[in-house]
Amino acid sequence: MSNKKEIFAVIGVSENPEKYGNKVFFSLKESGKKVYPINPKYDFIESERCYKKISDLPEKPTTVITVIKPEVTRKIVKECLEEGIKKVWLQPGSESEEAINFCKENGIKVITNACIMVNQKGGKNEKNF
Q: CA torsion sign, 27 to 81 to 107 to 112?
A: positive
Q: Where are the domains of the chain?
A: 7-124
pLDDT at res. 121: 52
- Please state, in angstroms and rounded to a whole number, the distance separating the CA atoms of residues 13 and 25: 7
Q: Chunk the chain into consecutive blocks of 10 residues (it has 129) and report each block's average pLDDT, rounded to whole numbers.
A: 75 95 94 96 96 97 96 96 96 95 97 80 43
Is residue 16 within 8 Å of 67, Cβ to Cβ? no
pLDDT at res. 117: 77
pLDDT at res. 116: 81
For the domain with range 7-124, which CATH number is right: 3.30.360.10, 3.40.50.2300, 3.60.20.10, 3.40.50.720? Answer: 3.40.50.720
Q: What residues form DSSP beta bridges with 123?
A: none
Residues in the chain: 129
- Please state, in angstroms and rounded to a whole number, the distance separating the CA atoms of residues 71 and 64: 16
pTM above 0.85, yes or no: yes
